[in-house]
Amino acid sequence: MSSSQYPQENEHPETESVMLTDEDGRLLECFVEQRFALNGASYLLLRPVDAPIAIVAWDEAIDPEEAILLEDDRDLDRVFPDARAVLAEQNLMLKRTAFTPTVEGELPEVQESQILTLELEEEAGTAIDPEEYQFLASFYFNKDEYGVYTPLAPLLFFAKETSFGKLEVLSPEEFREVQPVLEEWMFEDLD
């Protein structure tokens, strides 16, 4: 039984799903968690159907304790085949999807001893809340060690429906503009 925040598609057949597309034409299937209208626009709160993953590197030469989250597409593309192979050994299928790589399959139970906590920084250099990740697998590429993890907290996307019915993920600037209203609406909906 998976303890992931990312249930398999057949666990929620009544839940609507949509596709997000990135600038490279990659797709990401998402469940629609919420739909709402604001200032005449239609917004959606989305959660990926499959579990998002993060690939982390450790550079023994620099600092063996410091994890480096791979975010650059070239870095991800370079190690992706090896990550796919080690996950396949666990019957997990790694996908190169829009906005985040994802993994399809039954995730292992969370073990406290295998949780990685990363303290990430925003572009302005300010620290944000630490994020916890569940370990899935590790591998070596060019003598460097890598780990594949999935976040314990659900990854959510806010999208806006265009006049042509296409979905666009909100930019950070757009999100900041509507965030106070969205938070108020979401908290009212929970009551």
1-14 confidence digits (pLDDT tens): 334 444 444 354 56
pLDDT of residue 191: 53
CA atoms of 115 and 67, how far apart (whole Å): 13
Residue 30: how many other CB atoms lie within 10 Å: 26
Q: Which residues of the chain have pLDDT under 70?
A: 1-14, 59-65, 120-128, 185-191
pLDDT of residue 187: 66
pLDDT of residue 20: 95
pLDDT of residue 164: 83
CA atoms of 82 and 97, how far apart (whole Å): 17
pLDDT of residue 138: 94
pLDDT of residue 148: 96
Give the three-class secondary structure for 80: helix
pLDDT of residue 177: 82
98-136 confidence digits (pLDDT tens): 999 999 999 999 999 999 888 766 655 555 678 899 999
**Total-model pTM:** 0.80
